[in-house]
Structure 1
Amino acid sequence: MEIKDNTLFPMPLKMLISVFLVVLSVGYFSALFFVNETTSSNATGIIENYNGNENNEEAEEMKFKKSKHEMLNIIHTHILSMSVIFFILALLVYTCNIHPTLKTFLMVEPLISVLLTFGGIFLIWNEVEWMTYIVMLSGGLMTASFIVSILTVYYSMFLKTFIK
């Protein structure tokens, strides 16, 4: 079954999707807040979050290198949960009547960014510190895709019917 336009969804389904997207957004942006708190959203902060900062005598908060067990736990839980989140969001984007190239980008890019971000974090932990910039770029693209996808789904379901 091919869904070409989600404006045809019945109102109860639109409401379910709307509430889901609000809850999903609260979770996503609270996670971004947590990332900012633990890394200061900069390259040094990301490296210190995973590799520790014991050698920095001026550090305000002492951090220690994460264990292999901690890293595997962080990486596998994030990759699994975020792949499901972005798969569901991709299904919703698929129902939007937007340019096919944009639709494909919004459906696929976040999944690639999940791999780059968390694969990069693992490499940072293994002392490949230049991966910090890849992690920051892929995380930024992932977030931008998330925001555009959410707005596209809302626009397509509700505003598009009123703005013609």
Structure 2
Amino acid sequence: MINLNGFIFRLPKEVKFLIGAFLVVLSVGYFTGLIFVNDTTENHPQGIQENYLGNEEDLEAEVMKFKKPEREMLTIIHTHILSMSVIFFLLGGLVSITKSNKKLKKALMIEPLLSVLLTFGGIYLMWTGLHWMRYVVVVSGILMTTSFVISVLLVFSQLFRK
């Protein structure tokens, strides 16, 4: 059995710099996405629902939004699940080589993948009429972001340690 626990310390310096640069760029992209989510939904369950289902009945709405067509929904769900699964697979691989508690590492490697399914599956189910899924989307999005931040900090904290 291969023991990856602490393998990050044995990586060559140039690989550590590559990983560090990757984490910085990945974090910029991730948090830019969160800024976009905040801009379109105000990070609120009702805002999430309005972003995908529209708000045409609210005559006092500042910005009029319309229900997204099925083709657009499928594109959003498809691209986000594929891209975020790759992001969290790579990040999980980096977490696996840190020197950390096995249960913590397992949680950080699996939870965000489950949250990706719950977040984007929840968005689709909400769009189909299960409006209560907006709460699942909020909770799973928070868990996914928390896992992302902890994972990046964990890897970064060990990256250049002797």
Q: Look up the equivalent residue of 2:146 and give its one-letter code.
A: A
Determine if contact 2:20/2:159 at 8 Å carries over to the other structure. Answer: no
| CA shift for structure 1 position 127 | 1.5
Equivalence for 2:37: 35
Determine if contact 2:5/2:100 at 8 Å carries over to the other structure. Answer: no
Q: Look up the equivalent residue of 1:87 and give its one-letter code.
A: F
Structure 2: distance between partners of 1:73 and 1:147: 27
1:46-125 mapped onto 2 (5 Å cutoff) = 46-125=48-127
Structure 2: distance between partners of 1:89 and 1:62: 38
**Long gaps (5+) in structure 1:** none
Equivalence for 2:5: 4
Equivalence for 1:26: 28
Residue correspondences, number: 160
| CA shift for structure 1 position 3 | 2.7
Structure 2: distance between partners of 1:157 and 1:116: 31
Which secondary structure state, in structure 2, belongs to the residue aligned with residue 54 of structure 1? coil
Q: Look up the equivalent residue of 1:32 and give its one-letter code.
A: L
Q: Look up the equivalent residue of 1:128 and give its one-letter code.
A: L
Pick aligned residue for 1:13 from 8, 12, 15: 15
Runs (4+) off by over 6 Å: none
Determine if contact 2:126/2:133 at 8 Å carries over to the other structure. Answer: yes
User: How many percent of aligned residue pairs carry the same amino acid?
Assistant: 56
Structure 2: distance between partners of 1:127 and 1:43: 14
Q: Look up the equivalent residue of 1:3 and give its one-letter code.
A: L
Determine if contact 2:5/2:98 at 8 Å carries over to the other structure. Answer: yes
Structure 2: distance between partners of 1:139 and 1:108: 14
Deviations, residues 55-95 of structure 1 (Å, cap 9, x unaligned): 10110000000000000000000000000000000000000
**Structure 2-normalised TM-score?**
0.96
**Long gaps (5+) in structure 2:** none
Equivalence for 1:156: 158
Which secondary structure state, in structure 2, belongs to the residue aligned with residue 84 of structure 1? helix
Structure 2: distance between partners of 1:110 and 1:96: 17
Structure 1: distance between partners of 2:51 and 2:15: 41
| CA shift for structure 1 position 158 | 2.0
Structure 2: distance between partners of 1:63 and 1:34: 16
Indicate the RMSD between aligned Cα atoms, in angstroms.
Answer: 0.8
Q: Look up the equivalent residue of 2:141 and give its one-letter code.
A: G
| CA shift for structure 1 position 7 | 1.1
